[in-house]
Structure 1
């Protein structure tokens, strides 16, 4: 009887001992002292070829230039008063690489004619209405955000000869009207040049667009991921006119970042963005995108990877309740808070790297830190085994292929017949996005992505 009771107690103690969790207390590797997140940034160059048909330039110019364009209210000196209107839409075409402007004119003239006889002034005045066509020619230049034509009047052709009827006879007055041309030619030239310049003034539109893109954008709410762009300069080539199309290249230099956790808004200073004239720009865009993953946010994401996962050998199992990451001596420390057959926190360390073939970020040379490893060998050797460590390592690795494909797809949506406004069409292509490197700071992992491709903006059919 006593033997049976004793045997029962032994079995009970064995069962209890097997069902009781061990607790492990390990030394925590202290993080490096906190410091600002500093990392190497690479400038991205977004090259945007722009082409605009002259018919659209004419459309914009006609919208701006209307009605009375010249007026002379004084008869003295030249015996002539003039009013000149734009009579019909302006036509703008290409003539041997120059801008040719054809401007239909409507002219009202008040003419004073006669002579002085025997000391008496024998003068009369007549009001005339007649039509003509002015032809201007100019070079297309792009500077200070604007396209300038610098036109000069080449000729004014009258549809009918200006004349008055005196004593039943038609008397030409071109001898009065033609000399007056020297007065209103410069005015017409200035009005045409100003209208063309206003038609293609990029400054306000470009700066408005840049101010919009500098505001952080939430690109993934689940992971609290934000995209941020900071423009630092803008280059432009000279405008080229060929076959009724004005072409030029804009090139934006900027920093691009993706941060986990909303970044602070930087105040956009429009005055800091200067347009620089250059002879040539790159033939494609090259975007270096910085992905900043603070350890605190990365810990939350990797913790989600471990949810519902068990690790163990035989009847001994643990689940990961929490994951913390920080930087220590050029490596990332991964703290795993466990519950199950072993309670407590164990510490691993490794170097984050990128596997191009499998397109995932993993921790190379991942292993328990020395104090953790020695204590596991004494209390939970089964957890220190390489097989379990490999399983744990798999959950600390994560593929970024879906994110890269999503980023590429989103970019391509804006590069396939994308029309932000009527008459403006954007087309292009993106090459595969690649990871260039991973940097470690005291507070974050910083991944640099690189994307290349081509994009073009065409203006055709403005309304």
Structure 2
């Protein structure tokens, strides 16, 4: 017997040492790598948002009246054509649609000084005339580089009072003199109106303001501290089409979308980085691909809440999970469970994150384990490793993103129901349910990619 013990004892010691070494090596291989401050990197999938844009003629009329006020024309050279002229806007400009074009009705006051007679022996004189009348212009409309531009022609003008001057005690009509003179300036006045429309109808700053408002991260769930963030990449626009009381064009927004758990993310919107491109056609559907980001800290907290107040019992033995840690190692998720009770120590579980489409939960598949406890080779440890308790613990290591998805959709809906990011801009739309696509693991977080479809429209009416 002594001889047997002498011969087997070294083998047992070696076996214990070997097993201990092997376990220690496994545990060291599972421990988290040193953290760094590098930004989170993952493969993004862009979203495309179709945003038909309607701009009312009334809105363009309002902007035009703000831009074009007071004196709009001044010719102070009498000698070139024997006429001086100042033209002042006397009332609001009115815009109406006429056969697919814009008709502009422009009330004006005209002061004119003209020379008449002949230069022979100084037989000439000058007279000043004050006139009140209205110009009617007809304009073709187009959109170029986000500026609405027009090509206008003066179709008609009429006088509120017939122009005349007093000569030798008689009122002499001078319409025949004024009208040919005005015809010389028709193209100049039309050009002035076109310039005013270009200056007052540059929509690019408004689009950028709307995008900046939409890019501001907003809270979608207070309970989970979940934030939604939109990052614009490119904006597309089609040609403008005049449709009775409004101008229609299609906008398309290429962007990335994120939901993040934890502190409010920074607004990284950079208006200089957004590219604008002209296209002939834009798809009608909104396709949103959202990256639902769960940092390891937030996922640890969610899983910890699953274990709170729970005891895992088997016969006379029981354990309680006190703390949960989570990190990534070699493409797998490591879950460290600190436990007390029949075993005092840590169990490390490793698995691949997956998604349950029915329960909308992130769970961990192909799970393996390693124990870090003084009783590693005892039967106490064996019943944990081989019994139902381990399976129950593994099943508890999951967290739901259903509420995140529901809250996310609920929080997004107000932004599609006459949402006004700025005065005079209104956003409306519809959205379908979120659908899961895939899960990715990064060095910073677990990312669930989800998709949804819908429609969106933007209306501009009543801006400052």
**Both structures adopt the same fold (TM-score exceeding 0.5):** yes
Displacement of 1:180 after TM fit? 2.7
| Equivalent-residue separation in structure 2 for 1:290 and 1:375 (angstroms) | 41
The answer as to whether partners of 2:335 and 2:350 remain within 8 angstroms in 1 is yes
Cα separation, partners in 2 of 1:280 and 1:362, compared to 1, 3 Å: same
Of stretches 317-326 and 149-158 in structure 1, the one that deviates more from structure 2 is 149-158
Higher mean alpha-carbon deviation, 325-334 vs 77-86, is at: 325-334
The 2-side partners of 1:220 and 1:413 are apart by 14
Instruction: Report 1:24-423 matches (<5 A).
Output: 27-28=26-27, 29-31=29-31, 37-116=40-119, 119-214=120-215, 216-217=217-218, 219-220=220-221, 223-262=224-263, 265=266, 268-369=269-370, 375=376, 378-385=379-386, 387-423=388-424
Q: Answer whether contact 1:352 1:362 (CA < 8 A) is retained.
A: yes
Give the 3 Å change call, closer, same or farther, for CA 90–304 of structure 1 in structure 2: same
Query: Cα 1:377–1:143, aligned 2, differ >3 Å: closer, same or farther?
Result: farther
Aligned to 1:22: none
Shift of 1:247: 0.6
TM-score by length of 1: 0.85
Cα offset, 1:156, TM superposition: 2.3
Counterpart CA distance in 2 for 1:157 and 1:55 is 24
Whole-angstrom CA distance in 2 between matches of 1:167 and 1:421: 62
Find the aligned partners of 2:248 and 2:405 in 1 and give their Cα distance. 33
Once residues 403 and 444 of structure 2 are traced to their aligned partners in structure 1, the CA distance between those partners, rounded to angstroms, is 25
* TM, length-normalised to structure 2: 0.85
Q: CA deviation at 1:422?
A: 4.7
Deviation by residue 1:245-291 (Cα, 9 ceiling, x = unmatched):
10112112122223334587576543332311011112122111112
Q: Distance in 2 between matches of 1:459 and 1:215?
A: 20
Unaligned runs of 5+ in 2: 1-22
Question: Partners of 2:445 and 2:416 in 1: how far apart?
Answer: 33
> Which residue of the partner structure matches residue 15 of structure 1?
none
**Whole-angstrom distance in 2 between the partners of 1:413 and 1:214:** 15
Deviation at 1:56, TM superposition (A): 2.1
Q: Per-residue CA shift, 1:65-111, capped at 9, x if unaligned?
A: 11111112222133222111112211111122222211122211223
Q: Does 1:424 align with 2:439?
A: no
The unaligned stretches of length 5 or more in structure 1 are: 1-24
- CA shift at 1:361, angstroms? 1.4
Q: Does the C-alpha gap of structure 1 residues 459 and 253 become closer, same or farther in structure 2, counting only changes over 3 Å?
A: same
How far apart in 2 are the matches of 1:462 and 1:294? 41
How far has the Cα of 1:370 moved from its partner? 8.8
1:379 and 1:276, CA in 2 relative to 1: closer, same or farther beyond 3 A?
same
Aligned-partner Cα distance in 2 for 1:177–1:376: 112
CA gap of 1:386–1:172, structure 2 versus 1, over 3 A, is farther
Number of residue pairs aligned between Structure 1 and Structure 2? 436
**More deviation, 322-331/383-392:** 383-392
In structure 1, C-alpha distance between the alignment counterparts of 2:260 and 2:413, rounded to whole Å = 22
Shifted more, 171-180 versus 343-352: the winner is 171-180
Indicate how the Cα distance of structure 1 residues 315 and 198 shifts in structure 2: closer, same or farther if over 3 A, else same: farther
Distance 2:285 2:184 in 1: 49
Shift of the alpha carbon at 1:213? Answer: 4.8
Q: Residues of 2 paired with 1:183 and 1:73: CA distance?
A: 15
1:175-197 C-alpha deviation (Å, 9 max, x unpaired): 43223324533342233223322
Moved more, 418-427 or 349-358: 418-427
**Cα distance, 1:395–1:199 mapped onto 2, change above 3 Å:** farther
**Mean Cα displacement is larger for which, 215-224 or 200-209?**
215-224
1:39 Cα deviation from its structure 2 partner: 2.2
SS in structure 2 at match of 1:139: strand
State the SS of the aligned residue for 1:151. strand
1:351-400 deviations in whole A, cap 9, x for unaligned?
A: 2111112221111233434999x958833344235532343234222221
Q: Contact 1:80–1:177 (CA<8 Å) still a contact in 2? A: no
Aligned residue for 1:345, secondary structure, equals strand
Check the 8 A contact 1:80/1:111 in 2, yes or no.
yes
Instruction: Rate the CA distance shift 1:385–1:151 in 2: closer, same or farther, 3 A.
Output: farther
Deviates more, 1:79-88 or 1:159-168: 159-168
CA distance in 2, matches of 1:453, 1:249: 15
Residue 309 of structure 1 aligns to a residue whose secondary structure is coil
Distance 1:427 1:271, change over 3 A: closer
Distance 2:111 2:444 in 1: 77
RMSD: 2.8
8 Å CA contact 2:326, 2:336 repeated in 1: yes
Tell me if structure 2 keeps the 8 A contact 1:79–1:176. Answer: no
